[in-house]
Structure 1
Amino acid sequence: MKLYLDTADGDAWDDLMPTGLFHGITTNPLLAERAGLEYARIDWSKMAGKAHELGAKELHAQVYGPAEEYVDWAEKLYAVGEAAGIEIVVKIPLVEETIRVTPAIKALGGRILMTACYDAKQMFVAKALRTDFLSPYFGRMKEAGIDAETHLAAMEKMNRPDVRRCEVLVASLRSAAQMVTLANLGHDHFTISPDVARELLTSPHSIKAFTEFEEAISSS
């Protein structure tokens, strides 16, 4: 199982990466905006260096702007990651104009994640292009009235006969309970918000048991 921290908020990185739970960090323009960052002005060298210092093995960064500029942008991201000592995975949205430039990005030799997935049929695209990750937006799918569990179950089955997997990195999760549901369907790669991460770290019953242990020691 691999967990990723889904935020561009440096304070959340400082707080949660030291738990040791997270294999990497994922970002996108919306997450940057929520963190008060202007995506086009992000210093990716600085961001990659910080992620590496905090123990992340991967930093997922999304291409943006005109599709014809994606290859140059991806090449720069891969170089930034190599210089910082961390693997950068390039995220590409699943729309036709960006799908069409994916083979040229693939030729650069770095790993790719196809993002903004809402339908199991998009696994055919990701696997045909031999990309490394597919990221379905589970919470958004449910909120759009899509039978998210059925689509996610199909994605997992579509991986089984293939020696070369396209890892399904489930995103847009609203709770730890959703993670449990998806784990029961066979999924084991999740990128989660700081709020869901903190939910994983907290159980009232565990806190109560811990308190009782400490009280037993102090009263003996």
Structure 2
Amino acid sequence: MNLRLYLDTADVTAWETWLPVGIFYGVTSNPLLLERAHLPCTVESLTQLASKAFELGAKEVQLQTWGDTKQTLVGTGKALAAIDPRVVVKVPITQLGTEAAAALIAAGVRVTLTAVYGVPQILIAAALGADYAAPYLGRINDAGGNGREDLAQMQRALDGVQSSTRILTASIRDVEDMAYLATQGLDTFTFSPQIAEALFSNRQTAAATAAFEGAAKTMGKNGAY
């Protein structure tokens, strides 16, 4: 599967609403999303959370490690990876985080380097052989950058060095950004339930569907299912 869509939330109620739709490859989370969902940032809590996501049909769950030392980041990351082979461990793309990510990858753990803001940072992920690199589209724009062009450049850089690292576009605030980036070769996106709603919100589609249903009711009066 080339296109991968993820639901970016730790809210299980949102998972129950959106995962059955069938378009999502998995879910992504981080300590801030856990805080918003009023969930503890512990391995035990994330074990239960991942189990629920897989029960609802997720093929992959991305969970973020934490700690202020390499040893802690690696230890927690290994504990998260041990939850299930379908777990990918997210690590911030700092120097310390990259050292921890390198150790995790050497131990066979799949890794996403997260909090990517600059185009050159994508080379760190490529050099490390990370499965994913997660740039924050909306926040790049907030900082005065051109998120669309920066992410397109990141993809060109990965293509240029023939890297298998996927750009996991995060901080998406407009479905049109996803559509544009898809034309630039990006194929992996994580977004909130609000963006999921916007993806399905189209007045013309709603009107056409209502017309179909009206015709079906009219023409089905003399028949039975």
Give, as a single letter, the amino acid of the residue that structure 1 aligns with 2:98.
Answer: I
**How high is the TM-score relative to the length of structure 2?**
0.91
Instruction: Indicate yes or no: 2:186 matched with 1:184.
Output: no
Instruction: Give distance in 2, aligned partners of 1:79 and 1:30.
Output: 22
Q: How does 1:13-52 map to 2 (within 5 A)?
A: 13-40=15-42, 43-52=45-54
Instruction: Give distance in 1, aligned partners of 2:109 and 2:163.
Output: 16
Instruction: Indicate yes or no: 2:79 matched with 1:73.
Output: no
- Deviation at 1:193? 0.4
Q: Any idea what the Cα deviations from partners look like across 1:79-107, whole Å, max 9, x if unmatched?
A: 1114xxxx110001011221222211111
Q: How does 1:52-201 map to 2 (within 5 A)?
A: 52-67=54-69, 68-82=71-85, 87-201=86-200
- Deviation at 1:215? 1.0
Residue 213 to residue 21, structure 1, CA distance change in 2 (3 Å): same
Structure 1 stretch 132-141 or stretch 200-209: which is displaced more?
Answer: 200-209
Work out which of the residue numbers 3, 7, 11 in structure 1 matches 2:13: 11
Q: Any idea what the Cα deviations from partners look like across 1:129-181, whole Å, max 9, x if unmatched?
A: 11110000001111111121221111111122444411001000002111112
Instruction: Give distance in 2, aligned partners of 1:48 and 1:40.
Output: 12
Give, as a single letter, the amino acid of the residue that structure 2 aligns with 1:70.
Answer: L
Q: Any idea what the Cα deviations from partners look like across 1:39-67, whole Å, max 9, x if unmatched?
A: 23751221111111111111100011222
Instruction: Give distance in 1, aligned partners of 2:74 and 2:99.
Output: 11
Contact 1:60 1:91 in 2 (8 A): yes
Give, as a single letter, the amino acid of the residue that structure 1 aligns with 2:107.
Answer: L
**Partner of 2:217 in structure 1?**
218
**Partner of 1:204 in structure 2?**
203
**How high is the TM-score relative to the length of structure 1?**
0.93
Give, as a single letter, the amino acid of the residue that structure 2 aligns with 1:32.
Answer: L
Instruction: Give distance in 2, aligned partners of 1:4 and 1:118.
Output: 20
The 3-state SS of whatever aligns with 2:129 is: coil
- Deviation at 1:202? 2.2
Instruction: Give distance in 1, aligned partners of 2:59 and 2:4.
Output: 11
Contact 1:24 1:56 in 2 (8 A): yes
Instruction: Give distance in 2, aligned partners of 1:121 and 1:167.
Output: 15
Contact 1:70 1:105 in 2 (8 A): no
Give, as a single letter, the amino acid of the residue that structure 2 aligns with 1:14.
Answer: E
Residue 138 to residue 176, structure 1, CA distance change in 2 (3 Å): same
Work out which of the residue numbers 2, 17, 22 in structure 1 matches 2:4: 2
Give, as a single letter, the amino acid of the residue that structure 2 aligns with 1:213.
Answer: F
RMSD value over aligned CA atoms?
A: 1.4
Instruction: Give distance in 2, aligned partners of 1:153 and 1:41.
Output: 35
Instruction: Give distance in 2, aligned partners of 1:125 and 1:186.
Output: 20
- Aligned residue pairs total 216
Instruction: Give distance in 1, aligned partners of 2:96 and 2:76.
Output: 15
